[in-house]
Structure 1
Amino acid sequence: MTVKKITWKSLMLSCYKSQDISSSDPREKISKPCQFQRLSMSDVSDLSSPLSVDDLSTSLLGSNLHVFTFPELRLITHNFARCNLLGEGGFGPVYKGFIDDKLRPGLKPQPVAVKALDLDGLQGHREWLAEIIFLGQLRHPHLVKLIGYCYEEDNRLLVYEYMPRGSLENQLFRRYSATLPWSTRMTIALGAAKGLAFLHEADKPVIFRDFKSSNILLDTDYNCKLSDFGLAKDGPQGGETHVTTRVMGTQGYAAPEYIMTGHLTTMSDVYSFGVVLLELLTGKRSVDNSRPGREQSLVEWARPLLRDPKKLDRLIDARLEGQFSNRGAQKVAALAYKCLSHQPKLRPSMGDVVKILDSVQGFEDEFVGTFVYVVPDETDDSKEFFTKKDCGVEKHDLHTRGWRNRIKLPCSLVANAESPCNMSM
């Protein structure tokens, strides 16, 4: 196969096509945005070789990326002060900073996140370059915005918009904080799905490859954006069905066929999305060795339960305390089951996922469990309870589904009440 080598300076991007004066249709005699050829990783002949800042800035001229100096980034992070440390991952530490037009003309004053590559860490120059190539050209409301970068000697840094609520992982699994409401979880799921669908449906499809809750960032209003494109890959081109690559990603999120064969497709991302959807449903991490036996793998434990709507109450995050849409939860559980299919061809496209999740938006949170007033029959060993419903009384068996959500009141309270509807809760 002939590999087409493209130099960086040959990839300068123009913004508009000139109008066609000869066109007979007056509607055609207006300037239109050009469909430029996006630079991909495969266009670079040697990914491992360091590239000069001049070459990078020239090739991505149309992306509005800023090239920062290392002293500038040291200034805005207060010399990378520990109090500004936001977190640290496989790429390296991330610091909070603040930039304004005094630092760089044309930049609005704003907080930023500065990610520094740890040369001794799990990722390297290739991953740093992938972030710039993908996020330097791709723009979408659900992709984090790359503002600029720095490349001086051994210093390789990336500057992003700051997402004040951090990652979905932190918000969903943080021990001492209010739990995310059901409607917020569904809004996040839809936004993340739209981000993946945008990548998969691009002229040159992009496979995220490391989709997980820690790579979903949230702004003040819980709008989500995908981040960390270091492991992203260009999708198969032409008649190819997959991309063969070294297996990389995160345990618990990677698709089984990718782990076994190294064959990467957009369906690999769909599986990973199914895992995150399961985390949103259950409030449990994808892998947790502190859980007993089979429950350590969330997918292995939960997937059999997803098929049966009657077992939904065993899946739903208990911290929601019954405040969720039952109809919505059933649709989301069925969607997660399809995304987690062992057969990639049976998984839905991300476009279809977006449609399904869009249909569950606006379902108001409702209390699914039922408040019950228990009336013991002192003359009969068989126990019955009565459910409050429109000021009427219905008799049920003790083993009816959802009993654990019900409240048992002392006999004295029941005896002194004129009717169940007059009781204060």
Structure 2
Amino acid sequence: MVLLKNRVFQVIVLTDLIQQTAIWIRNIALLFFVMDLTNNNPIYVSLLTVIEYAPIFIFSFIGGTLADRWDPKKTMIYGDFASALSIIIIIFFVTNGNWQVIFLATLISSIVSQVSQPSSSIMFKRHIPEEMIAPAIGIIQSLQSLFLIIGPIIGTLIYSWLGITASLVSIAIAFFISSIILLFLPKVKKEKENISSKFIKEMQEGIQYVKNSKNLKIIAITFVFIGLGAGIVQPLDVFIVIDRLGLEKENIQWLYMLAGIGMFIGSIVASILSNKLNMKKVIVGGLCFLSLSLIVEVLSVWFVLTATMNFITGFILAMWQTMLGMLIIKMIDEKFVGRTNGILTPLFIGGILLGSAVAGPLVTFTSLITTYIISAIIIFVGAIISTDLELKNTQKKLKNNTE
């Protein structure tokens, strides 16, 4: 397959896998560490999610604009190296008893990623033929789903056996290796920059670009509702395991694993059938099912039922993400990739941020079931909004490119 011989694709896939390993170790280690220190307090757990997503909300648009201006290869290399260096500094403080500084690990990593991630999309768009975008996204989504299976297990094992310090060390090593591998990306031919071009003007152009596209505006609004609904339940997954299923918190890794298996299979199916699936039905139907699954998940007191829902939800969600990813890449001009991502991402993250901020107090003053039902309703509203998408021309273009 020609795609697998593409050097940019090879490098981005490999570094993405390494970064996914680091991210999952970070997510699991910090979650368990905070729960151990706060006696499973939902407010502190939701605060951890807020700290994780706040920089993404604040810096993603600026980062996307900078990514359109800077050398994408150098940006990604410096970004991963900065992440590794920051973790090393944080390890020094943690070993000296200042454990609160671990939150900086997530904070710095999130800030740096807001420039490096759009740069990756730019390299992807520039060096991978258009007709290969669909299978490329499907493969990347499949590999990311694979880490939903093994990532929580790796993170749980490292933290349970070796503790927080070893977890942080492994994260630093992973980001450092990733920065080295990125050196193998091809050199970018720098186009002559318009000296009169202003940073603020480019940001305004990005906003106008989204405003002029009906589909992008609908996606933007939908992202707000999905982010808000997902943000409410994201910090509370572990409480499904503890409160509804009556299991130890470490058992969340098995639910993550089943969701990952579902996503792995779903992304493969979406990649193979991308030119046959109806984009709009997958996007709208996927959100409707996600809404329903949240209600079933919180009402279930049986591990088998909860696990089954996690698997099916993972499968549907992977198809939804793959189709939406293909749709957005097809719709965006290369010169606006960073800025468009920089607009859509903060809307989604802003929703997650707000949802996560209220999750702890909401579940404390109401109940876990009520909180999940509120989240399900919000996501269902997002599904209704997405019914206004007009994708016939995009669908037709996708089919023509894959035939």
TM above 0.5, one fold?
A: no
Larger Rg: 1
Higher strand share: 1
What TM-score do you get using the length of structure 2 for normalisation?
A: 0.27
What TM-score do you get using the length of structure 1 for normalisation?
A: 0.26
